[in-house]
Structure 1
């Protein structure tokens, strides 16, 4: 991971901050790392352009408040949605008070945001009456930031598990991965704290290496992910079971057997350190990847999304998605999809038979927009996305387009 520039520690006076995107972390990194995430040139360019004149009042949400005090439990998405019709346009919102912003990835409980409208344009500022005129003074509760934790882009609990748990692999990845061969004391089902034995072949052998203790994720049942439109298999979704820590390498052992020297393979020894479901022989091991810092900057894809569809709703036998639920989609890195891309969900209009004109005619009803989702973990040909807003119930097969 590249070294990131440091950010001054916040003092008792609230930090002036933007409503741009905050980095969200995977693999156990801390929020302090997120607060050091740099501003992208694209964010800064958009904000600087917007800061010259603000944004049109027509781009504001109809119910945008004149002022708002940031509260614990808020997310940047929620606050952006409060002020803008299109909450993914955070660089514009940041640009509305660019003169006050020193670090656009920080916003804290207790900050008061003031919305100014003038000559058909709007700006957001952290200073009451910044545009001049009379400032109305009223009693207000004082908020102090007693934590160094800035607001997250989204509720972290909704996606943290998906940053590390499910994986999309090709047909042979799990088949060639090290396999669990047995549990200690002939145990068939294993859970946290249990010892297991596993072996790999060729380059997949489980051998201890210098450095930190090696850890592995445990997976089972790679399920095909099929494109609803074309029927193409885009990858295989592996079921996450837990994590194990390597204690001893697999080796070979030579001993006498009926007067002959016989060489036997000795599997590696691992301990289960976390388990979502019970583990058993035949399950596969994949090395724990390095920690990654991922920046979720909500934005529309730069190119039109063509043929986008929801493949499935994450979970066993789940058909319909609800708000704040994770879905898999049939677009990935090869299609130019990146973390933070926001797409609209369209319910595919039903095909009906019309007899109202005295004749039998086949009609297809219009596609209707029913929500928004945001990609947070793209793979080569598929991605995981979080359903942010819905007005109807999304399901597998629904269409995806630019927002």
Structure 2
């Protein structure tokens, strides 16, 4: 198989996406790998990130090389096992095709070599995922954080069946609060506050997911107490624990892409309560949907450059002592955002060469 041997060939796109995302601060530059293959046959278990990494220096350039619009980025249900991704060297693009038998020759594109198109039948059922879905599956539907305004009005368990200390599956729980028409709820216990590293303001609380409850009987007139039954119990739950309506299953499959506007964030916490994280671990950042992040946004991770004293001279500049100098921030990995709240987002660590630390910088790709 012939390899892509022209080092430094680049694709520059001034307008990345239609309908709003084209207002990037500057045009982004995508670069093919020097040893990019001519083609790749999609197999079960492939991811968009993995496939794009075979062709591109930066996997987040995937949508740009395809020339995709915003709707295609949000619904990438068009790449399936058995299809072929071709590197069209003449056009400087990736294209989608299929193997043909006797008309075009095995391993060669057929008569139709088109940009990705939406596949209607079995929409998304077998489509290639953006990133390994098994890694983030538990985090897609369970509450990871609770924002301050949600805590104030959240219903809470005020008593348990026969005064049990803890509840298990099929036990009754008595709940007080406004259900807002909901019948299925997740039970959580607020954890430590999450502070914005820049402002020190509390912007959310970690939520310890305990299980789910279903409404058995709504409060009757003259009563404020609803009766629930525990549908599942991951951990022990009891009086004082709070309820959130079970959210709709979030879309799991966005194409990796830069945020629609410049984002400058900081790593706020590592999921699990530790200070360091590595490949395929999950961290939160102090920016969310109100700041321009959506599912599939990719941020670059940097270690903050340290401030050091310049001791190389016998005397400081202008005789003022040893000057303090900030070293450059060092880029060492990427973060794929897969769940977004108003002020906070969670991302999966990708392609890191050093451990991620709380306080590290996460910004839009350059």
Q: TM-score, normalised by structure 1?
A: 0.68
How big is the alpha-carbon RMSD for the aligned residues of Structure 1 and Structure 2? 3.4
SS of 1:42 mapped into structure 2: coil
| Alignment coverage as a number of residue pairs | 314
Measure how far apart 1:241 and its partner are: 1.5
1:232 is the counterpart of 2:194: no
Which residue in the other structure is 2:115 paired with?
none
Aligned residue in 2 for 1:42 = 18
Q: Counterparts of 1:243-282 in structure 2 under 5 Å?
A: 243-251=212-220, 265=223, 267-282=225-240
Equivalent position to 2:290, from 322, 330, 334:
334
Deviation at 1:176, TM superposition (A): 2.9
Q: Within 2, Cα distance between the matches of 1:128 and 1:282?
A: 60
Q: What does residue range 151-166 of structure 1 map to in structure 2 within 5 Å?
A: 151-166=128-143
Higher-Rg structure is 1
Structure-2 separation of matches of 1:289 and 1:163: 10
Provide the residue aligned with 1:305 in structure 2. Answer: 263
Q: Which runs of 5+ in 1 are unaligned?
A: 1-39, 47-55, 97-102, 139-146, 254-264
CA distance 1:336–1:121, change in 2 (3 Å): closer
Displacement after TM superposition at 1:125 (Å): 4.8
**C-alpha deviations, 1:196-252, integer Å up to 9, x for none?**
22222xxx1x58x6xxx8111111125322111221222333322111011112236
Q: CA deviation at 1:322?
A: 1.7
For residues 171 and 131 of structure 2, the distance between their equivalents in structure 1, rounded to whole angstroms, comes to 35
Are the structure 2 counterparts of residues 237 and 374 from structure 1 closer, same or farther at C-alpha, using a change threshold of 3 Å? same
The CA distance in 2 between the partners of 1:116 and 1:287, in whole Å, is 48
What residue is the counterpart of 1:323 in the other structure?
Answer: 279
Matched, 1:363 2:329: no
Please say if residues 182 and 188 of structure 1, whose CA atoms lie closer than 8 Å, have aligned partners that are also in contact.
no
Q: Check whether the contact 2:155–2:243 (CA below 8 A) recurs between aligned residues.
A: yes
Q: Specify the alignment match of 1:198 in structure 2.
A: 175
Matched-pair contact (CA < 8 Å) for 1:80–1:93? no
1:79 equivalent to 2:57? Answer: no
> 1:371-403, CA deviations, whole angstroms, 9 ceiling, x for partnerless residues?
111222222222222222211111111012221
Query: Secondary structure at the residue paired with 1:89?
Result: helix
Q: TM-score, structure 2 length as denominator? A: 0.74
